[in-house]
Chain A
Amino acid sequence: AQSVTQLGSHVSVSEGALVLLRCNYSSSVPPYLFWYVQYPNQGLQLLLKYTTGATLVKGINGFEAEFKKSETSFHLTKPSAHMSDAAEYFCAVSLEEFSGGYNKLIFGAGTRLAVHP
């Protein structure tokens, strides 16, 4: 089975502190990996993605994530949290369907990040 697990449905940090949001995947083949952010009452925006090549990927708003194949992980980090980072964060994998070869995006359950002063 191919799935995405996000550890911690809620994470709370102080402004200026390190942000670490965890994501593990299970897949029989190397997936493409994504982090999306959803601000209140908005759609999803891409933060960053890993397809091939460098395993440390940088995204928008100072976020980065590292693909670790041995740990099947793709954790999202940011050195210093800002109040505006408060949002819901989704890890996702892109996997080909067995039939037809069509690709679809499978999302984790999401992690709500709260940033307090």
Chain B
Amino acid sequence: DTAVSQTPKYLVTQMGNDKSIKCEQNLGHDTMYWYKQDSKKFLKIMFSYNNKELIINETVPNRFSPKSPDKAHLNLHINSLELGDSAVYFCASSPDSHWAGELFFGEGSRLTVL
């Protein structure tokens, strides 16, 4: 039973399209995150939600819109996809927003924009 699961694992799409990635955690955690890993493996935080409330919003184009319908789910919708959006997107969770311990990561969703 996967703790943090993301769908889809692979996504190939054309420039200009809109796509979504979904994430679910069954750990009972309050806080969830989206991280982007670029082609050089660099990981950068994008967003964080705590109990459905947006608490961290890094400098990310507004084409990226996260949504948290409940604390177990965090989705990422991307409008008007660009070549530079190609990356692996990781969802993660932690017990709460002040947690300074281990983050639990999903296996990633590899987005390729052609």
Residues of A within 8 A of B (CB): 32, 34, 38, 41-46, 49, 51, 88, 90, 94, 96-97, 100-107, 109-110, 112
Shortest CB–CB separation between residue B108 and chain A, in angstroms?
6
Residues of B within 8 A of A (CB): 4, 33, 40-45, 48, 50, 55-56, 90, 92, 94, 97-103, 105-108
* In the complex, chain A residues whose CB is within 8 Å of the CB of B42: 107, 109-110
* In the complex, chain B residues whose CB is within 8 Å of the CB of A100: 55
Given contact pairs A49-B102, A102-B97, A90 touches B56 in the complex (Cβ within 8 A): no
7 cross-chain pairs, A with B, having the tightest CB-CB distances, nearest first:
A43-B105, A107-B43, A94-B100, A43-B107, A44-B105, A110-B41, A46-B102
A102 touches B55 (CB 8 A): yes
Q: Is the interface of A mostly helix, strand, loop or mixed?
A: strand
Given contact pairs A44-B105, A104-B48, A51 touches B90 in the complex (Cβ within 8 A): no
Given contact pairs A43-B106, A44-B105, A109-B42, A103 touches B98 in the complex (Cβ within 8 A): yes
B100 touches A103 (CB 8 A): yes
B56 touches A109 (CB 8 A): no
Which listed residue (A90, A103, A110) contacts B99, Cβ 8 A?
A103
